[in-house]
């Protein structure tokens, strides 16, 4: 497809760009009054995720309202466990809850490797609708959760600060953990391929709970499965974002992906040295900085852009934008990136 704005794709491929492209994790979400207006008409979060026309509507809002250089399909990483037969509920103010957790060999055996055309068609349909509505204005990003992060929710049954039940499985039943991780990986590969077929021009893998593992555990229980995903997706650029995995940046450099996402705890210069010159880096403004005054946001954003340099960088936050952030402050961040001119010597 020919895009009116393909900055993000060129940056991901490592090509020189006229300016740094910018988007935000969770940009199609609760910061926008227009999003909240859609939500108020519905029974809950899952209805929005599972209704392609509505998911398309809220996915498109940040292009018109914020001026970002890409959209990310409105969905959730937990659609994959649901497609595998491990359903979730999204409770207001509590987050996701799994009525039936995965703890035993029998639990893992009863999970299916999902068929995206059968079990996740609402996501691929939302992607097709959104790509049609975008009509080449900007690319659409598809996504999935990393297998280890999904294992955390499926075994714990809810969000957690420690995911001690999930980690217990890694220590006490590692073979079972690997079986579960492989089933999740097989489903995720099929799902991401279906997203590309539906029109996703880039993909991102979110390893949201990477930071709870030791470096050795991450090498054993997360990286090999992310590698399988990256090796299977060859048609579009893939970004790997592993929150808290500062210890794995060098290993991530060896993954066959185009972009490494950095959270705000990861020093930019150190990250570039560890990752090397070949990959694109994404990030990594602290989302809480957007609570500051506009002048502070501008200054910090400019400092971040200088630190990353003019090439092989996609500007983003170091995690998703928080729901109580002032949309006007978000616009200051985006406009600062779009108007910033690097000194190219």
Domain assignment present for 345: no
Position 94 pLDDT exceeds 90: no
Cα(343)–Cα(50) distance, rounded to whole angstroms?
A: 46
What is the reported pLDDT for 329? Answer: 98
| Catalytic pick among 153, 191, 218, 225 | 153
Q: How many CB atoms lie within 10 A of CB 70?
A: 28
**Exposure on the CB side of residue 315, measured as CA atoms within 13 A:** 27
Position 250 pLDDT exceeds 70: yes
What is the reported pLDDT for 93? Answer: 78
Please provide the average confidence, as pLDDT, over all residues in the chain. 97
Domain assignment present for 207: yes
What is the reported pLDDT for 92? Answer: 80
Position 6 pLDDT exceeds 90: yes
| Catalytic pick among 76, 186, 207, 263 | 76
Domain assignment present for 196: yes
Mean pLDDT of 177-192: 98
The runs of H, that is alpha helices, within the chain are 7-12, 33-40, 45-49, 52-66, 79-84, 105-110, 116-119, 121-134, 147-156, 164-172, 174-198, 215-221, 223-232, 249-253, 268-275, 294-308, 327-339
Contacts (Cβ under 8 Å, ≥6 apart) of 294: 328, 329, 332
What is the reported pLDDT for 211? Answer: 96
Contact (CB, 8 A) for 177 and 239: no
**How many folded domains does the chain comprise?**
1
| Catalytic pick among 26, 249, 258, 272 | 26
What angle in degrees, to the nearest 10, is found between the helix axes of 223-232 and 174-198? 30
What is the reported pLDDT for 345? Answer: 63
Domain span holding position 132: 7-339
* Cis peptide bond N-terminal to 307, omega within 30: no
| Catalytic pick among 13, 39, 137, 219 | 39
| Catalytic pick among 10, 13, 19, 30 | 30
Q: Give, for 203, the enclosing helix (H) or strand (E).
A: strand 202-207
Cα(188)–Cα(28) distance, rounded to whole angstroms?
A: 22
- pLDDT tens sequence across 14-60: 999 999 999 999 999 889 999 999 999 998 999 999 999 999 999 99
Domain assignment present for 232: yes
> What are the structure tokens assigned to 187, written together?
């489903």
Position 280 pLDDT exceeds 90: yes
Handedness of CA 306, 310, 312, 314 (dihedral sign): positive
List phi, psi (to 5°) of 262.
-110, 135
Domain assignment present for 325: yes
Domain assignment present for 237: yes
- pLDDT tens sequence across 102-132: 999 999 999 999 999 999 999 999 999 999 9
Mean pLDDT of 147-166: 96
Question: Which of 246, 123, 248 has the alpha carbon at shortest distance from 194?
Answer: 123
Buried residues in 89-125 as b, exposed as e (16+ CB within 10 A)? ebeeeeebebeebbbeeebbeebebbebeebbbebbb
> Is 39 noted as a catalytic residue in this protein?
yes
Cα(185)–Cα(334) distance, rounded to whole angstroms?
A: 34
Residue-level length of the chain:
345
Cα(230)–Cα(258) distance, rounded to whole angstroms?
A: 9
Mean pLDDT of 268-291: 98
Cα(24)–Cα(82) distance, rounded to whole angstroms?
A: 26
Domain assignment present for 1: no
Position 75 pLDDT exceeds 90: yes
- The owner of tokens 């340099």 is 309
Tell me the CA distances in angstroms from 32 to 93, 192, 269, 294, 324, one per residue in order: 18, 27, 33, 18, 10
Cα(101)–Cα(153) distance, rounded to whole angstroms?
A: 8
Domain assignment present for 269: yes
Position 79 pLDDT exceeds 90: yes
> Is 30 noted as a catalytic residue in this protein?
yes
CATH code (residue 19): 3.20.20.210
Mean pLDDT of 210-235: 98
Question: Which of 9, 1, 11, 8 has the alpha carbon at shortest distance from 279?
Answer: 11
């Amino acid at each position: 497809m020919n895009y009116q704005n393909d900055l993000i794709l060129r940056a991901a491929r490592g090509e020189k760009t006229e300016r740094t492209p910018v988007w935000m994790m969770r940009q199609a979400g609760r910061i926008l009054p227009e999003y909240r207006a859609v939500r108020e008409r519905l029974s809950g979060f899952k209805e929005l995720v599972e209704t392609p026309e509505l998911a398309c509507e809220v996915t498109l809002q940040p292009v018109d309202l914020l001026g970002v250089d890409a959209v990310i399909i409105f969905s959730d990483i937990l659609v994959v466990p649901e497609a595998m037969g491990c359903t979730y509920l999204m409770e207001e103010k509590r987050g996701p809850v799994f009525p039936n957790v995965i703890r035993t060999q029998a639990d893992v055996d009863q999970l299916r490797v999902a068929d995206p055309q059968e079990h996740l068609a609402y996501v691929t349909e939302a992607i097709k609708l959104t790509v049609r509505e975008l009509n080449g204005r900007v690319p659409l990003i598809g996504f999935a959760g990393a297998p280890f992060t999904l294992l955390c929710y499926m075994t714990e049954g809810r969000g957690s600060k420690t995911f001690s039940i999930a980690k217990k499985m890694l220590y006490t039943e590692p073979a079972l953990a690997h079986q579960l991780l492989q089933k999740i990986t097989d489903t995720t590969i099929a799902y991401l391929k279906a997203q590309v077929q539906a029109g996703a021009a880039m993909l991102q893998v979110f390893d949201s709970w990477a930071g709870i593992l030791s470096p050795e555990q991450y090498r054993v229980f997360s990286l090999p499965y992310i590698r399988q995903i990256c090796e299977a997706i060859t048609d579009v650029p893939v970004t790997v974002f592993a929150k808290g995995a500062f210890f794995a940046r060098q290993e991530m450099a060896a993954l066959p992906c185009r972009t490494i996402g950095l959270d705000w705890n990861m020093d930019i210069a150190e990250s570039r040295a560890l990752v090397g010159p070949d990959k694109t880096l994404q990030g990594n403004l602290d989302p809480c900085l957007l609570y500051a005054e506009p002048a502070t946001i501008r200054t910090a954003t400019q400092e971040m852009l200088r630190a990353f340099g003019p090439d092989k960088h996609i500007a983003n936050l170091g995690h998703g934008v928080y729901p109580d952030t002032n949309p006007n402050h978000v616009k200051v961040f985006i406009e600062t990136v779009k108007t910033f001119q690097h000194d190219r010597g």
